[in-house]
Amino acid sequence: MLLRLRNAATSMADIVHRQDRTANNLANANTLGYRRDRSFTEVLRSEIDAEGSPQSDRRTVGQADLVAGALDPTGNPLDVALGGEGFFVVDGPDGAPRYTRAGRFLTDADGTLRTANGAAVRGTNGPIRLPSGGPILITEGGEVTVGGQRVGTLQVVTFEDAGTLRRLDDTSFTSAAPPVAVAAPVVRQGFVEGSNVDPIREMADMIAHVRLYEAQQKTVQTTDAILGQVARDLGSF
C-alpha cells in the first residue's frame, strides 16, 4: 500500500514537471527561433520488491526539439534565418559562446552586429562590424558585404550530439561539447525563423497531463481510504 502511494506521488511530480514545460512551450509559441521542450522520463534504477511490486527511481529530463520552424519574410536586410541545420554564434554576458536560431539582428553605435538583447554576433574571424553607407548583402553562405565590401562571414555551427545542448533562455543554448562548423550553411537574408511550437499539440498535451494527474489523485485517495479502514478495523479488536 505504501509503495502504491509512493509511486503515485512520484508520477504526480513527473506530470507537474511535464506540464510546466508544456506551459512554457505555449508561452513561446510566437517567440522567434524558439525550440520546444520535449520531456521524457529517465529510469535510473528499476526492480521488483519482495511483494512482487515494481519500483524504480526516475527523473524527468528535457531536450530541445530541433525541428525547424517556419521562415517568415520581413524584407529587413539584418534579419537572417537558417534554412538548414546549425546555429548562429553570439557572445553571452560572460563572453562565452551561445548558440541561437533567432536571427533578428541590428547594429549598435559602432556598427557591431548584435542580437535584439545586445549580444555580439560572432563571425568566423571575430565580431562583425558594418560600416555606414551602402546596401547590406548577406549571401547564402553567410558572407556579409556592405556596399560591395566584404566585412565578415556569419559563424554557423552544429553539434554531433544535440543532447549536449542546454537551454539558457528562450532562444539560446550552451554546450560542453565543441561545436562543428557547418560546411555549407543556408542563410536566408530578409527572413526570420518562427517558433516550432504547435499550439494545438501543446494544448492536447496539457489536457492529457491534467487527466493523468487526476487519475493519480484518485489512486492516492482510494489507497488512503483503504488504509484508514484497515486502521479502524484493527482498532476495534
Q: What is the pLDDT of residue 6?
A: 75
Report angle CA 82, 31, 92 to the nearest 5 degrees: 70
Q: What is the pLDDT of residue 230?
A: 73
Q: What is the pLDDT of residue 51?
A: 53
pTM exceeds 0.75, yes or no: yes
**Exposure string (b/e) for 167-205, b if CB count within 10 Å is 16 or more?**
beebbbbebeeebeebeebebbbbbbbbbbbeeeebeeb
CA distance 34 to 54: 38
Q: What is the pLDDT of residue 43?
A: 60
- Residue 191: what residue type? F
Q: What is the pLDDT of residue 61?
A: 67
Q: Which residues of the chain have pLDDT under 50?
A: none
